[in-house]
């Protein structure tokens, strides 16, 4: 991405419309933005970031500050930026949400993005498209393109935790933290599940119903072996249940044997009692016969009424219809009289419609003329709009053509300048080879001096070790001599005292080993104490051990002496090669290295200068081919624009001819509104049509109503004659029915009122018949069963049966209770085994999540969380990119490294150190001076920018801005920093720097100068 222009209006410190043409700075590559504090230098960066993403460039700025304090209420706040990406031109315009004096509601934010013939509108839509085009979000964009004030040294000075938060923000590693939290949450859940499951196991085990002794033995917690113990205990209970079942079955059989005879006798007694009861009930029912016969008579009468219900209904309905017909006939006669009177008045209006119709025809002729004029007027207006639109399009095309022509001419000039520079490339390459050879020779000499210094250090160490080994040998030799002299002395004494030793072993009546005598009157005596043969042998072994130790020490001295001679030979060879004749010492090496470093620095500066120029010219040479393609493409586009301009001029001439023809036909086509005249005529016509329609509708409706009412009157008269005839016939049938079935009409009406009781009477009579038949049948059956039987006394048998029943129930209760206890225990044991299996599954998952949580949260040998492990890999890549720049800025002195191990219990992996190649010492990053810290911070920022750009798929972001930070550098460091930035410039990057440093103003010729005014800031561009 290359920024071409930036326009700000009423934006922060810029009240007035301000435009910066960055395309005029592209050829210079490096430019400075200068001005006093608070003038609005950083506002330029804020405007760029806001145009693309709707936010500011720094951390501490937000949208509430975007509206200029100097802006008037009607002045619109917006930023418009044009940039080039993948050889396409894009223009984005964005305005923030802000309040205006005198307005109750805020001006809402909006955004537009235009490229080719595409226009995208809406904050969300533009944000999505910008992210798609650039390939990075706003945080990554600020790290790649804008190194903002306050964030420049954030990574370099941050501790490990702060650096973790910064990298998390850049690389969006929050999902890894969420993953760690998920594992912790799962660990917590499964721990609670396991604790709950273990508690449920204990609770369920305590539900088992066993003896107190068993419960006391198993009352301490829960153990898996308790399940097997409980199964065995329940098996014992099952054996006891079987014994109780046998006893219960025995008493049950005794009870059933007695109860069978008892219940048979009891049945005979019950049959006799029932016989007497049924006999009495039958006699009572026979006394109701007269009442039942009356009910039967009522039911017959009611059935006759129901059978003739149709005749009764027809008679009543015909009577009602005859009455309704008479009322309707009276109403129709009245309505017919009213309608006839109204028709006479409407008939007079209907005869006058011909005059109104003539007025309508004349109006329609005028309307047709107005309609034609309106169509021509619309055509005229459409032609004018098309002509005006074409004129604007022509102006835009002419502007684009002029801009492209200007760009093309600048492009050709730059290509000619680049080609002139490339012509010097062969001579520079030859000189570069010579300088490279000199640098290699000097570097080789520096390496040899370092190697000689290491040999010298090793030689000194070898001499010190030789001295220590020699002293150690002397000590071990002295120890050996002491032990050896002691052995010689003890051996001599042992030999001299052999007679005394032999005499000390003789006993009476035992033969002497020398003379064989059994008597020993004059035994030899020991003059002093001596060692035994075994003790003397142990002393001899100790002498041999000390001798071997002494010999090993002597061999180490000889080997060390040989190593000293070999190292001395190497030192002499290197001294001869380096032409060093003086005696070696630390001071000599420091002086030699100091001299060679100055030479290396001078040679490398010269070499770097030639290398930079050659690399730059090679890139220019390579880009010239692409530039030629771009130049040809621009030429083709210019030709296309010329053709387009010609076609637009031709079309504009056609539009003007058509417009003049219409004006000649209709002189008032601009002043007269024909459509309004036509609308008025249409309204007048609508009123006439409505008036005619109303008269006609009333006329025809009256005719229709008179006809309908006349027809209805005739129909009702005919219906009245037919209804009267039907009524007379039905009345005759109705009276014959009453006289034939009832004594009089009053009896008929009484029975008619009893119709609702018919169902109840039928039920009563039917129940009487059924009960009579049932009692008679049961009486005959019982009479047969009880013939020749009498009542039997069962009191004694009942007492005996009660006793057997109580014994049976007692044994059944005991058996059932034990069986219930066994069954309940069996169910609990099955559930307990199932729950224990689930408990073990939960425990396995709990331990698995616990292990994963410990590993990902940093409880591991590396003391590094999963997120920090990933971020440390990113950090390593950032340092690789950063060291490329830092080595250039520090003349190969410094390099950044990630600390591999940190003392203490805290997490590690993101701590930073710096290696000083001059001393070979790894230093803490905080030990760097202000200038050195700036170099490291700039290198880290550039490395982060390169790394994110690489990881984002090689996105094309060719613009870099740096806000402040150069104030701590000396002149040499400024040169080194600018050299690095110039290398980036040579990589087709455009670099802008904000700084108050006067030395930068002298060294950077192209500048955007910002000045603070009374009503906001103003700026202008200065360049050679």
pLDDT in tens, 44-58: 888 888 999 888 765
Measure the CA–CA gap between 687 and 93, rounded to whole angstroms.
55
Burial of 159 (0-12, 13-18, 19+ CB in 10 A): exposed
Contact 915, 897 (CB under 8 A): yes
Question: Residue 853 to residues 161, 180, 787, 845, 848: CA-CA distances in angstroms?
Answer: 20, 7, 95, 12, 9
Q: Which residue is listed with tokens 């153990």?
A: 223
pLDDT at residue 103 is higher than 80:
no
830 vs 614 pLDDT, higher one: 830
The whole-model pTM stands at: 0.42
**Per-residue model confidence (pLDDT) at position 905:** 39
pLDDT at residue 601 is higher than 90:
no
192 vs 140 pLDDT, higher one: 192
User: In this structure, what is the dihedral angle of CA atoms 990, 995, 998, 1003, given to the nearest 10 degrees?
Assistant: -10
Containing 696, the helix (H) or strand (E) segment is helix 674-741
Contact 613, 429 (CB under 8 A): no
Contact 889, 965 (CB under 8 A): no
**Per-residue model confidence (pLDDT) at position 51:** 92
Calculate the average pLDDT of the chain: 80
Locate 287 and state its tokens: 């006394």
Locate 711 and state its tokens: 């027809």
Edge-to-edge order in the sheet of strand 1016-1022: 146-147, 959-963, 990-994, 30-34, 1007-1013, 1016-1022
pLDDT in tens, 846-863: 889 888 888 888 777 777
- Lowest mean pLDDT segment, chosen from 59-68, 329-338, 466-475, 528-537: 59-68
pLDDT in tens, 669-703: 777 777 787 788 788 888 888 888 888 788 888 88
- If one counts every other C-beta atom within 10 angstroms of the C-beta of residue 912, the result is 22
For the chain, report the end-to-end CA distance as a whole number of angstroms: 25
Q: Which of 54, 293, 159, 57 is nearest to 992 (CA)?
A: 57
Three-state secondary structure call for residue 8: strand
**Per-residue model confidence (pLDDT) at position 94:** 93
Q: Which residue is listed with tokens 């003049």?
A: 660
The vertex-815 CA angle with 813 and 816, nearest 5°, equals 65
Q: How many residues does the chain have?
A: 1024
pLDDT in tens, 792-807: 777 787 788 888 888 8
Q: Give one DSSP letter per residue of 109-155, joined into a string.
A: PEEEEEETTEEEESHHHHHHHHHHHHSS-HHHHHHHTEE-TTTTTHH
Question: Residue 694 to residues 358, 688, 699: CA-CA distances in angstroms?
Answer: 17, 10, 9
- Lowest mean pLDDT segment, chosen from 607-621, 681-695, 822-836: 607-621
820 vs 346 pLDDT, higher one: 820
pLDDT at residue 527 is higher than 60:
no
pLDDT in tens, 479-499: 988 888 888 887 777 766 655
Which segments within 443-512 are labelled E, that is strand?
none
pLDDT at residue 78 is higher than 90:
yes
Locate 377 and state its tokens: 């007027």
Q: Which of 970, 977, 967 is nearest to 997 (CA)?
A: 967
Percentage with pLDDT > 90 across the chain: 4
Measure the CA–CA gap between 282 and 263, rounded to whole angstroms.
28
Region 30-41 average pLDDT: 83
The vertex-293 CA angle with 289 and 294, nearest 5°, equals 120
**Per-residue model confidence (pLDDT) at position 112:** 94
3-state secondary structure 70-84: CCCCCCCCEEEEEEE
Place 529 in a pLDDT band, splitting at 50, 70 and 90.
low
Question: Residue 444 to residues 419, 453, 577, 890, 891: CA-CA distances in angstroms?
Answer: 37, 14, 12, 20, 17
Locate 896 and state its tokens: 């950044």
Three-state secondary structure call for residue 962: strand
Region 52-72 average pLDDT: 72
pLDDT in tens, 256-279: 888 887 777 777 877 778 778 887
Question: Residue 542 to residues 471, 479, 486, 546: CA-CA distances in angstroms?
Answer: 22, 11, 11, 6
User: In this structure, what is the dihedral angle of CA atoms 104, 105, 107, 108, given to the nearest 10 degrees?
Assistant: 170
| Maximum Cα–Cα distance across the chain | 197
- For residue 418, what are the contacts with CB-CB under 8 A and spacing of at least 6? 620, 623, 624, 627
Q: Which of 366, 381, 387, 363 is nearest to 666 (CA)?
A: 381
Locate 881 and state its tokens: 């990119």
Question: Residue 938 to residues 147, 881, 962, 978: CA-CA distances in angstroms?
Answer: 9, 12, 9, 11
pLDDT at residue 473 is higher than 80:
yes
pLDDT at residue 1018 is higher than 70:
yes
- For residue 991, what are the contacts with CB-CB under 8 A and spacing of at least 6? 29, 30, 31, 959, 960, 961, 962, 981, 984, 985
pLDDT at residue 928 is higher than 60:
yes
Measure the CA–CA gap between 131 and 860, rounded to whole angstroms.
39
pLDDT in tens, 574-598: 888 778 878 877 777 777 777 777 7
- If one counts every other C-beta atom within 10 angstroms of the C-beta of residue 649, the result is 11
Radius of gyration of the chain (CA): 62
**Per-residue model confidence (pLDDT) at position 906:** 47
- 143 backbone dihedrals φ, ψ, rounded to 5°: -75, -30
Strand partners, 98: 107
- Lowest mean pLDDT segment, chosen from 552-566, 756-770, 850-864: 850-864
Burial of 672 (0-12, 13-18, 19+ CB in 10 A): middle
- 119 backbone dihedrals φ, ψ, rounded to 5°: -130, 120
**Per-residue model confidence (pLDDT) at position 121:** 93
Task: State whether the Cα torsion 150-155-160-162 is positive or negative.
Answer: positive
- Lowest mean pLDDT segment, chosen from 10-24, 171-185, 813-827, 965-979: 965-979
- Lowest mean pLDDT segment, chosen from 2-16, 911-925, 987-1001: 987-1001
Containing 473, the helix (H) or strand (E) segment is helix 425-496
**Per-residue model confidence (pLDDT) at position 964:** 61
pLDDT at residue 526 is higher than 60:
no
Locate 812 and state its tokens: 């059944």
- If one counts every other C-beta atom within 10 angstroms of the C-beta of residue 73, the result is 9
- If one counts every other C-beta atom within 10 angstroms of the C-beta of residue 890, the result is 21
- If one counts every other C-beta atom within 10 angstroms of the C-beta of residue 40, the result is 25
- 959 backbone dihedrals φ, ψ, rounded to 5°: -120, 140
pLDDT at residue 555 is higher than 60:
yes
- If one counts every other C-beta atom within 10 angstroms of the C-beta of residue 192, the result is 12
Question: Residue 205 to residues 213, 320, 540, 566, 961: CA-CA distances in angstroms?
Answer: 15, 88, 75, 82, 73
């Amino acid at each position: 991405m290359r920024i071409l222009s930036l326009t700000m209006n009423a934006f922060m410190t810029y009240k007035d419309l301000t435009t910066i043409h960055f395309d005029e700075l592209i050829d210079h590559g490096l430019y400075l933005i200068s001005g006093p504090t608070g003038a609005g230098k950083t506002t330029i960066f804020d405007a760029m970031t806001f145009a693309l993403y709707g936010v500011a460039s720094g951390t501490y700025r937000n949208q509430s500050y975007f509206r200029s304090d100097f802006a008037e209420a009607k002045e619109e706040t917006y930023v418009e930026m044009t940039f080039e990406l993948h050889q396409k031109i894009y223009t984005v315009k964005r305005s923030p949400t802000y309040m205006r004096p005198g307005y109750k509601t805020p001006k809402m934010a909006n955004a537009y993005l235009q490229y080719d013939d595409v226009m995208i509108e809406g904050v969300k839509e533009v944000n999505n498209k910008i992210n798609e085009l650039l390939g990075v979000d706003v945080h990554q964009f600020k790290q790649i393109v804008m190194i903002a004030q306050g964030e420049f040294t954030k990574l370099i000075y941050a501790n490990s935790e702060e650096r973790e938060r910064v990298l998390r923000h850049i690389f969006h590693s929050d999902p890894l933290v969420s993953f760690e939290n998920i594992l912790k949450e799962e660990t917590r859940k499964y721990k609670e599940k396991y604790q709950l499951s273990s508690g449920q196991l204990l609770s369920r085990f305590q539900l088992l119903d066993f003896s107190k002794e068993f419960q006391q033995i198993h009352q301490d917690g829960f153990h898996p072996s308790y399940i097997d113990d409980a199964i065995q205990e329940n098996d014992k209970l099952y054996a006891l249940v079987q014994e109780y079942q046998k006893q219960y079955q025995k008493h049950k059989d005794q009870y059933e044997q007695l109860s069978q005879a008892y219940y048979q006798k009891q049945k005979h007694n019950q049959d006799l009692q029932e016989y007497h009861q049924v006999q009495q009930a039958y006699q009572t029912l026979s006394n109701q016969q007269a009442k039942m016969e009356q009910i039967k008579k009522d039911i017959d009468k009611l059935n006759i009424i129901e059978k003739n219900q149709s005749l009764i209904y027809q008679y009543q309905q015909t009577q009602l219809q005859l009455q309704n017909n008479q009322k309707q006939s009276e109403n129709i006669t009245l309505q017919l009289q009213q309608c006839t009177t109204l028709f006479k008045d409407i008939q007079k209006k209907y005869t006058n419609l011909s005059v109104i119709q003539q007025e309508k025809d004349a109006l329609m002729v005028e309307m047709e003329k107005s309609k034609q004029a309106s169509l021509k007027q619309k055509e005229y207006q459409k032609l004018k709009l098309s002509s005006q639109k074409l004129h604007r399009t022509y102006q835009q095309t002419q502007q684009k053509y002029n801009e492209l022509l200007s760009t093309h001419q600048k492009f050709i000039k730059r290509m000619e300048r680049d080609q002139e520079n490339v012509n010097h490339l062969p001579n520079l390459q030859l000189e570069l080879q010579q300088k490279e050879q000199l640098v290699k020779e000097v570097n080789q000499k520096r390496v040899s001096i370092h190697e000689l210094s290491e040999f010298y250090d090793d030689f000194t160490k070898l001499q010190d070790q030789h001295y220590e080994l020699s002293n150690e040998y002397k000590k071990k030799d002295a120890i050996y001599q002491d032990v050896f002299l002691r052995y010689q002395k003890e051996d001599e004494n042992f030999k001299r005292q052999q007679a005394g030793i032999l005499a000390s072993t003789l006993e009476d009546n035992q033969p002497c080993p020398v003379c064989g005598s059994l008597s020993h009157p004059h035994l030899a005596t020991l003059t002093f104490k001596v060692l035994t043969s075994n003790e003397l042998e142990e002393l001899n072994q100790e002498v041999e051990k000390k001798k071997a130790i002494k010999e090993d020490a002597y061999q180490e001295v000889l080997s060390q002496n040989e190593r000293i001679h070999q190292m001395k030979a190497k030192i002499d060879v290197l001294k001869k090669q380096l032409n060093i004749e003086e005696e070696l010492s630390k001071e000599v090496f420091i002086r030699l290295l100091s001299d060679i470093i100055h030479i290396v620095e001078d040679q490398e500066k010269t070499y770097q200068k030639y290398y930079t120029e050659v690399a730059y010219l090679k890139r220019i040479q390579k880009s010239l081919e692409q530039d030629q393609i771009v130049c040809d493409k621009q030429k083709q586009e210019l030709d296309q624009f010329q053709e387009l301009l010609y076609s637009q001029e031709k079309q504009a001439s056609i539009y003007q001819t058509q417009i003049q023809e219409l004006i000649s036909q209709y002189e008032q086509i601009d002043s007269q509104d024909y459509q309004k005249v036509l609308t008025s005529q249409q309204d007048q016509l609508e009123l006439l049509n409505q008036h005619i329609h109303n008269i006609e509708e009333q006329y025809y409706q009256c005719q229709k109503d008179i006809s309908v009412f006349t027809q209805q009157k005739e129909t009702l008269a005919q219906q009245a004659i037919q209804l009267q005839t039907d009524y007379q016939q039905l009345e005759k049938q109705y009276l014959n029915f009453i006289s034939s079935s009832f004594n009089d009409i009053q009896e008929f009406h009484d029975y008619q009122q009893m119709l609702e009781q018919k169902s109840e009477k039928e039920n009563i009579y039917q129940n009487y018949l059924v009960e009579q038949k049932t009692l008679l049948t049961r009486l005959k059956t019982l009479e047969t069963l009880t013939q020749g039987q009498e009542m039997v006394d069962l009191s004694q048998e009942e007492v005996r049966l009660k006793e057997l029943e109580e014994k049976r129930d007692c044994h059944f209760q005991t058996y059932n209770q034990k069986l219930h206890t066994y069954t309940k225990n069996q169910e609990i044991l099955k559930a307990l085994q199932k729950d224990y299996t689930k408990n073990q599954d939960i425990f396995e998952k709990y331990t698995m999540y616990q292990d994963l949580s410990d590993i990902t949260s940093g409880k591991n040998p590396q003391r590094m969380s999963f997120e920090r492990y990933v971020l440390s890999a990113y950090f390593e890549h950032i340092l690789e990119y950063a060291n490329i720049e830092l080595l250039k800025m520090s003349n190969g002195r410094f390099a950044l490294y990630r600390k591999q191990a940190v003392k203490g219990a805290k997490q590690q992996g993101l701590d930073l150190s710096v290696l000083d190649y001059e001393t070979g010492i790894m230093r803490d990053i905080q030990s760097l001076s202000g200038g050195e810290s700036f170099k490291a911070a700039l290198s880290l920022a550039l490395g982060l920018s390169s790394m994110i750009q690489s990881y984002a798929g090689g996105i094309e972001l060719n613009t870099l801005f740096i806000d402040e930070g150069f104030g701590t550098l000396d002149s040499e460091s400024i040169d080194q920093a600018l050299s690095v930035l110039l290398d980036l410039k040579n990589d087709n990057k455009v670099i802008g720097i904000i700084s108050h440093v006067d030395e930068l103003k002298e060294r950077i010729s192209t500048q955007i100068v910002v000045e603070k005014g009374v009503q906001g800031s103003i700026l202008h561009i200065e360049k050679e």
